[in-house]
Amino acid sequence: MNLEEKIEVARGDVEADLLLKNCQIINVLSGEIHQGNVAIFKDRIAGIGDYRAKETIDIKGRYIAPGFIDGHVHIESSMVTVPEYARAVVPLGTTSVIIDPHEIANVLGLEGIRYMIQSAKLTPLSVYIMIPSCVPTSHMETAGATISASDISTFFGQRWVLGLGEMMNFPGVINMNNEVLDKIKVADGKLIDGHAPGLSGKDLVAYIAAGIRSDHECTTVDEAREKLRLGMVVMIREGTAAKNLKDLLPLVTRENVCRFVFCTDDRHPYDIKTQGHINYLIKQAIHLGIDPVQAIKMATCNTTEYFGIPEKGAIVPGYMADIVVFDNFENMNIDLVIKNGQIVAKEEKFVVREKKLPEVMLRSSINVNWMAMKDFSITVEDDKKARIIKVIPDQIITKQAILKPKIEDNKAVADLERDILKIAVVERHMASGNVGIGFVQGFGLKKGAIASSVAHDSHNIIVTGTNDADMMTAVIEIVKMRGGLVAVVEDEILGSLPLPVAGLMSEEPLEVVKDKIEELKKITRDMGCTLEDPFMQLSFLALPVIPELKLTDRGLVDVTKFDFVPLFTE
């Protein structure tokens, strides 16, 4: 639509396409809720007030809000492709997402980023991109690709690219690693997202001084307050593995609400289908005492203002007509979703014909060197204790325990009485034969093994279990499926979910993926597992940038030291 058309419709000289009548408009810019009509012409909000239109919908006093926005998400963690993800979240009111495709980039490099960009076309979801900054995440793991500063620069200038994705290598920033600094320099003038769990004091100041403007890893009010005071935008995350909403909301006030943004980061299909997406975060925030308009600000205009996305995030003349209609703040049943001026969902179901994209072929991403790979046995070192990864339920951080291992035939083995299992990470990109082996406490398994090719961020094969034989069977099945999740007991495959797209995503609908994950979770409960989502928890145990103790294909990592440590200690 040209400028003259905008003005003519806004003046009322030309009919609008659609009029939403009798609305309670949630005005995130003025901070109030007021009654009115909203006129839409083509893909824009034409005006607020009395207008003639080709079609009128009486909203009957229901609320209308700007389309919800996820400020930081890895779509790959939903384990479905971008079109399937859009089909799941748009009916829930999410009309835009800012993605960091570093999961698939760590597997397939630039090919993976281009795949995500191509997959987003023609979907009823605006997909903005932050280019991955840490591929690989660190020098302590083997990824499937390396993305350099010059590689990153080729994406800047593209319409949907907003900046540089989460800078996870915060030690590299504050210690002035040349490769890390080159990426920051290339992003000069672009937004840079942060990722600095637990960083404080002058190290945090140095990190922010480098040009990093946000953080989504805060877990306490004190941590978030320090970052807020130093100028960071705090992204309040409520995902599947990491749930920080309840802990951080007490920091939000009317004076500082503009510095908070909602995000999911990593959210599994089950949570999307049973709880919701950004609509769930809004509803929970309201239940926890946040003013409804403030809650919706954190999901709309705060996000667009931080990322510099023009003409989106509010219901005002000239802005994109991305609108959510819902009944009340208690239930937030979503009646209508409008995207770019078109009705795309009613009562949380799509009402538009989905456009099929040309098929994009990806190379195989599972390459294991069986000849070089050893078994999972651990030779005992004389009277020494072992470093144990201690899982914290519903968090991606871990603790470290120092305990004497159980010994059988001069080998350290799983100890079910103390809930200590073996864990291994098998390199699956370069066929190097690398295998990192250690112990983990907190899964509760009494038999069998579980494994996954989803292991943030390099996504090697990760497996934990009560015995070596079932662990090996599980790894073999992952390779056969070209990636996925699996549960094994006594050499029998009890359940699996193939993820052939980069070993991260299924080609099935989200509902199918959800059902298979639920089946796997039930199987793991029958195996004795006490965690709500063991596969999500498992997937973060190989991430060497999240404290405290993690395992990669190259060995055990003390994240606080950002270096390898031996399995055994005095």
> Can you say whether residue 459 is alpha, beta or left, with left for phi > 0 and alpha for psi between -120 and 50 degrees?
left
Q: Which residues pair with 32 in a beta bridge?
A: 27
Tokens of 348: 């949380």
Residue 38 belongs to some domain of the structure: no
Peptide bond into 553 cis (omega under 30): no
Residue range 310-340, pLDDT digits in tens = 999 999 999 999 999 999 999 999 999 999 9
Taking the alpha carbons at both ends of the chain, their separation in whole angstroms is 72
HEC string of 84-139 equals: HHHHHHHHHCEEEEEECCHHHHHHHCHHHHHHHHHHHCCCCCEEEEEECCCCCCCC
Instruction: State the pairing for strand pair 214-215/191-194.
Output: unpaired
Peptide bond into 548 cis (omega under 30): yes
Would you state the pLDDT for residue 395? 80
CA dihedral 398, 402, 404, 405 (to 10 degrees): 30
Share of residues in the chain with pLDDT > 90 (%): 86
Lowest mean pLDDT among 44-58, 301-315, 381-395, 397-411: 381-395
CA dihedral 23, 29, 30, 32 (to 10 degrees): 40
Residue 358 has pLDDT above 70, yes or no: no
Integer Cα distance of 126 and 339 in angstroms: 9
CB atoms within 10 A of CB 495: 17
Residue 217 belongs to some domain of the structure: yes
Lowest mean pLDDT among 130-134, 362-366, 550-554: 362-366
Domain end, chosen from 285, 311, 337, is at 311
Is the Cβ–Cβ distance between 74 and 266 less than 8 Å?
Answer: yes
Residue 527 belongs to some domain of the structure: yes
Would you state the pLDDT for residue 372? 81
Would you state the pLDDT for residue 213? 97
Residue 283 belongs to some domain of the structure: yes
Would you state the pLDDT for residue 174? 95
Residue 356 has pLDDT above 80, yes or no: no
Residue 111 belongs to some domain of the structure: yes
- Provide the mean pLDDT of the chain: 94
Tokens of 24: 């309670």
Residue 531 belongs to some domain of the structure: yes
Q: How many domains does the chain have?
A: 2
| 127 and 232 part of one domain | yes
What is the pLDDT averaged over residues 474-492? Answer: 97
Would you state the pLDDT for residue 439? 98
Integer Cα distance of 47 and 190 in angstroms: 32
Would you state the pLDDT for residue 219? 92
Three-state secondary structure call for residue 46: strand
Integer Cα distance of 465 and 444 in angstroms: 10
From residue 321, alpha-carbon distances to 286, 312, 317 in Å are: 25, 8, 9
**Tokens 């597997």 -> residue:** 107
Residue 293 confidence class, pLDDT cut points 50, 70, 90: very high
Residue 255 has pLDDT above 80, yes or no: yes
| 493 and 395 part of one domain | yes
DSSP line for 50-87: S--EEEEEE-TT-EEEEPEEEEEE-GGGGTB-HHHHHH
Q: Which residues pair with 18 in a beta bridge?
A: 40, 55
Would you state the pLDDT for residue 355? 66
Tokens of 137: 């995440």
Please give the single-letter amino acid code of residue 480: K
Lowest mean pLDDT among 298-302, 369-373, 446-450: 369-373
Integer Cα distance of 545 and 138 in angstroms: 8
Residue 501 confidence class, pLDDT cut points 50, 70, 90: very high
Domain limits at 172? 68-311
Integer Cα distance of 326 and 332 in angstroms: 6
Integer Cα distance of 471 and 375 in angstroms: 10
Tokens of 316: 């005002």
Residue 353 confidence class, pLDDT cut points 50, 70, 90: confident
> Can you say whether residue 438 is alpha, beta or left, with left for phi > 0 and alpha for psi between -120 and 50 degrees?
beta
Domain end, chosen from 311, 344, 360, is at 311
Integer Cα distance of 452 and 444 in angstroms: 17
Helix (H) or strand (E) holding 44: strand 44-48
| 123 and 240 part of one domain | yes
CA dihedral 322, 328, 331, 334 (to 10 degrees): -30
Three-state secondary structure call for residue 179: helix
Residue range 391-403, pLDDT digits in tens = 998 788 899 999 9
**Tokens 């055990």 -> residue:** 556
Check which CATH number belongs to the domain holding 305 and give it: 3.20.20.140
| 390 and 282 part of one domain | no
Residue 381 confidence class, pLDDT cut points 50, 70, 90: confident
| 203 and 302 part of one domain | yes
| 274 and 385 part of one domain | no
Residue range 131-184, pLDDT digits in tens = 999 999 888 999 999 999 999 999 998 989 999 999 988 989 999 999 999 999
Runs of H (alpha helix) within 422-564 = 468-480, 510-526, 534-539
Lowest mean pLDDT among 18-27, 299-308, 407-416: 407-416
Residue 354 has pLDDT above 90, yes or no: no
Residue 362 confidence class, pLDDT cut points 50, 70, 90: confident
Share of residues in the chain with pLDDT > 70 (%): 99
- Burial of 383 from C-beta contacts in 10 A (0-12 / 13-18 / 19+): exposed
What is the pLDDT averaged over residues 506-514? Answer: 94
Residue 147 belongs to some domain of the structure: yes
Residue 253 has pLDDT above 70, yes or no: yes
Would you state the pLDDT for residue 154? 92
Integer Cα distance of 85 and 46 in angstroms: 30
Nearest C-alpha neighbor of 155 from the set 139, 123, 136, 133: 133
Nearest C-alpha neighbor of 552 from the set 477, 474, 479, 457: 457
Residue 361 belongs to some domain of the structure: no
Tokens of 302: 């705060």
Residue 357 confidence class, pLDDT cut points 50, 70, 90: low
| 269 and 393 part of one domain | no
| 301 and 412 part of one domain | no
